Structure 1
Amino acid sequence: MGGKTIQVSGFPSTVNADHVKDLLEKIVGTGNVFAIKLRPPKNISANSKSFAIVQFQSEAHASLVLNAARRNALRSGSNHLKARYAERDIVPRPRTTIFNLQDATLHFGCLLREKVLSVLWSGTNVSVEFGFAMKRIDFCLIYNSKKYKLELSYESIWEIQLHRPPGLQKKFLLIQLFLFIESSEIFVNLSWRNVSVSQVQAAPKIYEQNIRRSGSMYDDPLFNYSRDDTDDQWTRTTDFTPSASIGQSYILCLELPHICYLPNIREYFVYYEVHDDVFHLQRGHSYSSNTCFVPVVKSHHFTDVPYEILFKINHLVQNGTLSGPTLDDNFYRLVSPGYECIDHIKRALEKMSYLKKTCLNPTKWLSEQYKKNRRSRYMLKSPNITLDDDGLVYVYRVQITPAKVYFYGPEINVSNRVVRHYAADLDNFLRISFVDEDCEKLRSTDLSQRSAPGNNTRRTALYNRVLSVLSNGITIGDKHFDFLAFSSSQLRDNSAWMFASRTGLSASDIREWMGDFRNIRNVAKYAARLGQSFSSSTETLKVHKYEVKEAPDVTNGTKYVFSDGIGTISADFADEVSKKCNLTCFTPSAFQIRYGGYKGVVAIDPTSRWKLSLRKSMSKFQSENITLDVLAYSKYQPCFLNRQLITLLSTLGVRDSIFELKQQEAVKQLNRMVAEPQAAIDAIELMPMGEVTNVVKELLLCGYQPDLEPYVSMLLQTFRASKLLELKTRSRIFVPKGRAMMGCLDETRTLEYGQVFIQVSNSADNRGKSIVTGKVVVAKNPCIHPGDIRILQAVQSPLLGHMVNCVVFPQLGPRQVFSNAFFYVFQPHPNECSGSDLDGDIYFVSWDPDLIPTRMVAPMDYTPAPTETLDHDVMIEEVHEYFTNYIVNESLGIIANAHVVFADREILKAESTPCIKLAELFSIAVDYPKTGVPAQIPPELHVKEYPDFMEKLDRATYVSKGVIGKLYREIKKQNPHIGHFTKDVARRSYDTDLIVDGYQDYITEAVWFKEQYDFKLGNLMEHYGINSEAEIISGCILKIANNFTKKNDADAIRLAVKSLRKEARSWFCEMGSDESGGGHEASDAKASAWYHVTYHPEYWGCYNEGYDHRPHFISFPCLDDEEWEVRFHFLDRDNLERTICLSDITFWNLIALIEVEGYSSRDFMYYVRDPGAAVSGMEELTDDDKVEEMLDHIASKGKNVVNITVMRSDAPRPVDLNIGHAYEEQVPLSEIRVPVVYEVDNSGVLFPSPVK
């Protein structure tokens, strides 16, 4: 055993840390003692001794002290000291520096012109410390008798320049903070290396030095020493300079003596320039419209600049593209719609945002850009994607950091009930979020320091800043935004909604419209109910109160509600709701909904005549709103293991080798899919990749090879890379014999306690249903208690045959069982699984025998902590304080990480005492948004050392011997390859078979639309910080900008891409329509032109002028399917109409649709091929070839409408109605009936003729 840290014992109890340091530095030399923790004995007496943990600069220094102790040469007074190696370092990874500067002058400001800095504030006697490899630069200075530290990360720096004016005795080192958008795809060993992505915000973290006081031994300087600053010596604070000058500046300028030595900065920083030229400092003035939120600019009163333009200008100022002091009257005149078309202004400002350096003459740049736009032969389109989906809206967003604000948008969001109702006021809605300067979440200790004597908490300036924003609002131009509310997911992300009041409508008015919350006297619950209306949802149909039944809850005489959060929906109304959700191939068995003040799930009840049957447990507040909003629905969802599930299953007896084998099988499947067409089809059917799944399937079925066709290849390679990354970072192993399923209740009361009903489809279109029987394992993420894993019995139940892709739990249960001398009250099975319910939770369900544990333990008691009830109506100010306190008390991530560590190290794994205690704390933390009761983590459960698979590079680590560690080290060997569309690939892959006659007529327009498509796609990618086209098209995102999350923003990204592709489809349909009209041949020629301008090598790299960092995009010709109308005509019921993408019109999808109406694959489907031939013109659809033949026939007529007649298998077939020969048969007179005569109407639909 060795190391830099030792334990020295035998000190008199009266010594302090300085005495220990001085004593040991006599042996190792001054400055070589790095840190000391001096601890007194537990029982102090005259003879008691203290010990010290001491960390040295190097292992050699530690050896010197150990050798001295062995020779009895280590003494403190008359006391002989003993020494041995310590288990771990005090500071696991001490910061090393490459360079220090003293007595420098630090200027903050903005460029006014080239080589002229407008200085907003200066600090003198500044010390500067350049961290190792320049990953961090620290500036320390004193202002108003307080010591401050500014911590600047490498990622916040765009450029460093050294100016050495000739003849002067000083030089200037300029550090430019910049939000520059650039992507480089370096993906090594499942990790990103040297990747620069957008949304890296640029401001230093600001700290104020604590006043060290005696008190707690762990904080007292008498017992602790650190050569370098430690975190507990500093408290985060806000901008302390006059007029918030740090926040207004994007240039930090160090004024240095000319002879001052500097390290070789170019060795560490690629954007470093040296200039031997004149550089001027000029006294500047604040340019921000207010000093609470900087930098924010506004136009002068006599210039009319629309809010959307002003918002974009602020974005450009905040990221350094525009310099605030340069914006004058001429500039604001140029961005006024009175001077230029607003779409041209938007387009120009969007293009400006990608300049590689600050635009110091924006009036000249804009004037030149407008001239180019006017010369264009085509009308320039808005840079924003056109939204033709009612479920999407554009919303502006503001990020607030401790020092600055950043404007983003407008961004595409999935709509919610509130913004839909107030659609005319969309520009008055604003989303805000509180983040740190590096876009990471604020830590609780940033807002509330816990190192004060007695461990009392002390609110910091950051706490006050957050609370002030919520209380006082934000002003942007002429709009003042006030706090509105936040959803539960927003609370977790430290985000909220704000609203700018106008005459007749305020934030308070909107809350009043949402519902009556006056009877809710708990602040946390009140805030949660406000947020209920802000869940992203799809608006469907209105349901009047008289169409809704109030159903009783099921309790079975216990304290538990077995029906918690679930009601029913009639089968007919479910079909109507499905249509409004644009579900074409199936009707879900269950919907997660919001209706008035109700929230939860409604599952189909075939016997119900009520549109909705809702229970009391679903009612959260009173509301007059009668629109049914759908948040989610039951569907095919693949399921995956993760680290929590693996840990619990391992604890309960599942062998490590099982998980290792499952991971090997998953990797094998991923390796095959990038080379074998059928393996690729199988993989993407089991694990769909979003909107492009059908396109990729069609290309593979047409004979394109997954490793040769560039578009298919890049999508499949990215899909594989994303799955491998999930295996490495989350142990996310695909489970073929399993599903992720919405939980539902057995309304038929046929399931016994311990039983479930599970019917699954084999693909996303509900094809190939099967019922699971036998033992299954059920859990709900997140899960960290061993009792969260339940082993249940899946059974057949004919009365539940309509329930597909959901797990149906029993509502029956034995009330009490006498066991181990105690009465045990049975919990509902959902409650056993992490304290869940049936209001929309998704459960992990697997019937893989290898994954079913050999034993099961009692579930945890998830009864929530008692809540505080106020003696008055909740005030909105109390909600502000609750939001801010949530950031202080949010501990879910800390507890979950601690559980991972203890479960990995402890012999009993998740059943160990620390893990059980952490599970209890986790439950409290999960309920905190509802109860307001925080979880307090005791010191003994704080983690000191992390397993290697957690990749905590800045903390002490160890090599995990557990199953997660084994899986991690095995998957690290995989190295995914993602190819790029180079010019050489273009030469090899260009397919001349796709070039048809007449394509040349559309080339010019095709190039124009390709430019528009690439511009909008590139903007979307860079906005979200997504590195490759394949990632954003497939939805398999490998890395996203820090201020977004894959989980929360995946839907918005997917829908944004879908909207862009729909918009491009509309261009395709309009293209050349004036010259040649529609028609099949024209469509083929247009498609050929789009392919040619994308894939032909002569067009490679010809797009994205001015955006050199963007690659050549190839998704342009591979658009979404055309949408067709499919109309089913039944003889015994109403017609069924669906809008379906062309590639989804397959034989089995048509069967799935008629099954909704009670028909089956045994029945007959016909379409009219020749309307003039009566019955003989009918063609039966028997397989996919016949369906394809029908689609070609209809397309040739220039129509996108399919009419299909459906007949029962016992009805006469049209072919039998057209028999041309006669035959005799004796029939009793009593059985003779009037024959049915069939006719064909103008739409080509077969129908029985009325009897004359």
Structure 2
Amino acid sequence: MGKTIQVYGFLSNVSAGEVKTFLEGYTGRETVYALKIRQHKKGGRAYAIVQFTRSSAAGLIIRLANQRLYYGRSYLKAREMETDIVPKPRAFLHTMERVTVNFGCQVSVEKFYVLWKAENVTLNFGTGMRKLEFLVSYCRSKYKLELFYENIWQIELRCPDSQTSKHLLIQLFGAPRIYEKEVPASELVFDDPLLNYFKDVPDDQWVRTTDFTRSNCIGQSSVLCLELPHNLRLPNFRENFAYYKENESRLVLESGSSYSCNLSLVPIVCPLRVIDLPFEILFKVNLLVQNGCIPGPALDDTFYRLVDPCRMDKVYIDHALEKLYYLRECCYEPSRWLFEEYKNFSRSRKYQGSPAISLDEGLVYVRRVQITPSRVYFCGPEINVSNRVLRQFHNDIDNFLRISFVDEELEKIHSINVQARGRRTSIYERILSTLRNGVVIGDKRFEFLAFSSSQLRENSAWMFASRKGLTAADIRSWMGNFSKIRNVAKYAARLGQSFSSSTETLSVSKDEINLIPDIEIMKHGIKYVFSDGIGKISAKFAKKVAAKCRLKGCTPSAFQIRIGGFKGVVAIDPTSSWKLSLRKSMEKYESENTKLDVLAWSKYQPCFLNRQLITLLSTLGVPDRAFEKKQREVIDQLNALLTDPLEAQVALELMSPGENTNILKEMLLCGYKPDAEPFLSMMLETFRASKLLELRTKARIFVQKG
């Protein structure tokens, strides 16, 4: 017996609530899980499709209908349905109702700073869900907050005997995902609340949204504090959370207010106008607040003076802030901690500060900001491969910023969260407003500059903080003339050409570039271009370009390039006397830039047979013994690399020429033995096992000189 039945015979004006009340009069309260009222196609009476929480309730209604069941004067008939309204209803392992949830920051061991409070909250969770689900009602709207285990740092239960309630503190890595229950459209029978009932709101009725509280208090919160009755029996949190602890110390809840200086992107902190902090230090302070290393409300004038290079040694400040980031616990008194740390630095004669790390040519430090639907996170500075724009304006590197739009767990945000049921969500508005209004950090306002094609796939973009004499518009003007491009998507893509990670090589003047025609054929009124994006480079110049790219040995046969407004691939032409021969199809916009930037070059690729190739070759008459011989050769080579250094080096060079095995090749060149050095032996065994697995499952046979 299933849980879903159809009950026929109701009056046409009956509502879902009336039918639910009627049926639960027989089956008991909260036994109806889902219910739909529908009209019969031939008119007359209505019928109800009802899904119960247990099959015994459905069986009871069918038995009563067989013995004459009436609704008023209407005689009802019932039959079993094959499919459920909700196929797999969620069964929560634990549910706590009428819980008070305080959003805020813990500012000391015994004090909690409340930014916003939600009452009568329902909390659901279970071991398989790997998330806590909070159901909240606010301003006549229903919201669902999903807090995934990955965003929980630790959980602490405070249950002092002196207080009537106990507190469950949930320290966060990130904010919960926020959903809003969509307002149903009464004109649609499938959405009309009078004709439909669900005990739990279906997933398709929840729409992602941003922080709905005043001053974005959820985004500013680093801790959730749940107020629970002292006699409430709690589930065993220790089973699901490794970082769970209990103590009997008291906790005082204190009402607080917003500490973020920017209420659209939170939390971003800054000092009063009296204290003028350098951008790099203010960026680090925000990074500490956003990662829960220090509570935002604890930052006062004393703290900002302690990180002011005009008052303190900058070397001390940098080292102290870095040390603060790696503390395992939140520092509730950052001013006092900094003061003590500076005293220790001044006493220690050996302290010389952190050594400066010099970057290789072509690498730069860039700061990044991750923007979620509820919060922002500052990152870096991080090492990035430079591009044409960063190399040109290297003196303004602190004015460049990379932004990424991600979900609360810092994963990729999907299109369904931006647009749901044909309308744009508030997450879309948040992304759009950020791109329009920019990001303000201290006295810098970063505005949209451009994005590369790879950034577009990652929901990222470049921003620039304009200064006197240089704006984002000036940089775009320097990049080239885009006025002839009228298509928005193509315009953005052309801007991104200059932001592709590349290696700067040599300058090529216009009189050293030969413009050659494309190879085209017109057939049946359609023009076919066989040379689209393909140019030529002289052998002599290719050798110089390879040297600039630090390529030793042979010169690559082809390079992926950017020069001025041209993009594409150039192949070596031994007969060419021109440095570059470019085609019209390679020109995307007009630019005066003469630097040749190289994105990639042709590399050796190992050749492997697979099942498909073996089948084709067998069909063409190649005997099976030829494949068996090749397979034996590969197995012998893989066995030999575990003991013979020379065989190991050859196998790694031929079968896996990428960067992953470079460290193994260097160890072999330094004289380490495969059967003597533990790390090298373990890595070679893993490499051998991987290749044997591919051989067994995919018939992936390596072919030398393939």
* Matched residue, 2:569: 601
* Structure 1 residue identity aligned to 2:467: R
Give the alignment of 1:141-540 within 5 angstroms: 141-178=136-173, 202-221=174-193, 224-373=196-345, 375=348, 377=350, 379-382=352-355, 385-387=357-359, 389-450=360-421, 457-540=422-505
Change (3 A) 1:65 1:121: same
* Structure 2 residue identity aligned to 1:146: S
* 2:101 counterpart of 1:106: yes
The 2-side partners of 1:665 and 1:31 are apart by 68
Per-residue CA deviations over 1:1087-1108 (Å, capped at 9, x if unaligned) read xxxxxxxxxxxxxxxxxxxxxx
Give the alignment of 1:987-1066 within 5 angstroms: none
Change (3 A) 1:710 1:175: same
SS in 2 for 1:262: coil
Change (3 A) 1:143 1:30: closer
The 2-side partners of 1:685 and 1:469 are apart by 48
Kept in 2: contact 1:134–1:268 (CA 8 A): no
User: Match for 1:45 among 42, 45, 51?
Assistant: 42
- Superposition deviation, residue 333 in structure 1: 2.5
- Superposition deviation, residue 62 in structure 1: 9.1
Kept in 1: contact 2:17–2:194 (CA 8 A): yes
* 2:559 counterpart of 1:587: no
Question: Which ranges of structure 1 fall in alignment gaps of 5 or more residues?
Answer: 179-201, 451-456, 738-761, 763-769, 773-1252
SS in 2 for 1:303: coil
Per-residue CA deviations over 1:425-476 (Å, capped at 9, x if unaligned) read 10100000111111122232322220xxxxxx22222111111000000111
Kept in 2: contact 1:567–1:614 (CA 8 A): yes
The 2-side partners of 1:505 and 1:420 are apart by 15
* Structure 2 residue identity aligned to 1:97: F
The 1-side partners of 2:25 and 2:255 are apart by 51
Per-residue CA deviations over 1:24-63 (Å, capped at 9, x if unaligned) read 767865544444577778xx335999795x66546x5599
* Structure 1 residue identity aligned to 2:550: N
* Matched residue, 1:838: none
- Superposition deviation, residue 608 in structure 1: 1.1
Kept in 2: contact 1:136–1:153 (CA 8 A): yes
* Matched residue, 1:124: 119
Question: Which ranges of structure 2 fall in alignment gaps of 5 or more residues?
Answer: none
* Structure 1 residue identity aligned to 2:253: L
- Superposition deviation, residue 634 in structure 1: 0.7
The 1-side partners of 2:641 and 2:6 are apart by 59
Per-residue CA deviations over 1:1122-1156 (Å, capped at 9, x if unaligned) read xxxxxxxxxxxxxxxxxxxxxxxxxxxxxxxxxxx
Kept in 2: contact 1:569–1:612 (CA 8 A): yes
Give the alignment of 1:846-861 within 5 angstroms: none
The 2-side partners of 1:174 and 1:267 are apart by 17
The 2-side partners of 1:584 and 1:123 are apart by 65
User: Match for 2:130 among 129, 135, 153?
Assistant: 135
Give the alignment of 1:942-953 within 5 angstroms: none
- Superposition deviation, residue 706 in structure 1: 4.1
- Superposition deviation, residue 230 in structure 1: 1.9
Change (3 A) 1:726 1:276: farther
- Higher alpha-carbon deviation: 552-561 or 417-426: 552-561
Kept in 2: contact 1:672–1:680 (CA 8 A): no
- Superposition deviation, residue 697 in structure 1: 3.1
Kept in 2: contact 1:13–1:49 (CA 8 A): yes
* 2:595 counterpart of 1:627: yes
The 2-side partners of 1:685 and 1:38 are apart by 69
* 2:551 counterpart of 1:578: no
Change (3 A) 1:51 1:171: closer
The 1-side partners of 2:389 and 2:673 are apart by 47
- Superposition deviation, residue 145 in structure 1: 2.8
The 1-side partners of 2:218 and 2:593 are apart by 48
Change (3 A) 1:324 1:632: same
* Structure 1 residue identity aligned to 2:471: S
The 2-side partners of 1:531 and 1:470 are apart by 16
Change (3 A) 1:670 1:204: farther
The 1-side partners of 2:694 and 2:438 are apart by 40
Change (3 A) 1:670 1:225: farther
SS in 2 for 1:518: coil
- Superposition deviation, residue 92 in structure 1: 5.6
The 1-side partners of 2:698 and 2:147 are apart by 35
Per-residue CA deviations over 1:882-932 (Å, capped at 9, x if unaligned) read xxxxxxxxxxxxxxxxxxxxxxxxxxxxxxxxxxxxxxxxxxxxxxxxxxx
Give the alignment of 1:965-1004 within 5 angstroms: none
Change (3 A) 1:165 1:601: same
Kept in 1: contact 2:133–2:145 (CA 8 A): yes
Change (3 A) 1:352 1:131: same
SS in 1 for 2:521: coil
* Matched residue, 2:110: 115
- Superposition deviation, residue 610 in structure 1: 1.2
Per-residue CA deviations over 1:795-831 (Å, capped at 9, x if unaligned) read xxxxxxxxxxxxxxxxxxxxxxxxxxxxxxxxxxxxx
The 2-side partners of 1:733 and 1:506 are apart by 57
* Structure 1 residue identity aligned to 2:391: R
Kept in 2: contact 1:96–1:132 (CA 8 A): no
The 2-side partners of 1:127 and 1:666 are apart by 65
The 1-side partners of 2:291 and 2:651 are apart by 42
Kept in 1: contact 2:4–2:58 (CA 8 A): no
SS in 1 for 2:529: coil
- Superposition deviation, residue 282 in structure 1: 1.8
Give the alignment of 1:769-808 within 5 angstroms: 770=705
* Structure 2 residue identity aligned to 1:601: V
* TM-score, length-scaled by structure 1: 0.50
* 2:80 counterpart of 1:83: yes
The 2-side partners of 1:667 and 1:138 are apart by 54
Percent of residue pairs bearing the same amino acid type: 53
Per-residue CA deviations over 1:343-389 (Å, capped at 9, x if unaligned) read 4432332222121110112233334444555526363334x7430x2
Kept in 2: contact 1:550–1:613 (CA 8 A): yes
The 2-side partners of 1:271 and 1:379 are apart by 36
Give the alignment of 1:1109-1148 within 5 angstroms: none
Change (3 A) 1:115 1:530: same
Per-residue CA deviations over 1:738-783 (Å, capped at 9, x if unaligned) read xxxxxxxxxxxxxxxxxxxxxxxx6xxxxxxx5x7xxxxxxxxxxx
* Structure 1 residue identity aligned to 2:375: K
Per-residue CA deviations over 1:1039-1074 (Å, capped at 9, x if unaligned) read xxxxxxxxxxxxxxxxxxxxxxxxxxxxxxxxxxxx
- Superposition deviation, residue 692 in structure 1: 6.6
- Higher alpha-carbon deviation: 621-630 or 227-236: 227-236
Change (3 A) 1:69 1:723: farther
Change (3 A) 1:519 1:362: same
Count matched residues.
687
- Superposition deviation, residue 336 in structure 1: 2.6
* Structure 2 residue identity aligned to 1:416: N
- If each structure's strand is expressed as a fraction of its own residues, which one has the higher value? 2
Kept in 2: contact 1:24–1:65 (CA 8 A): no
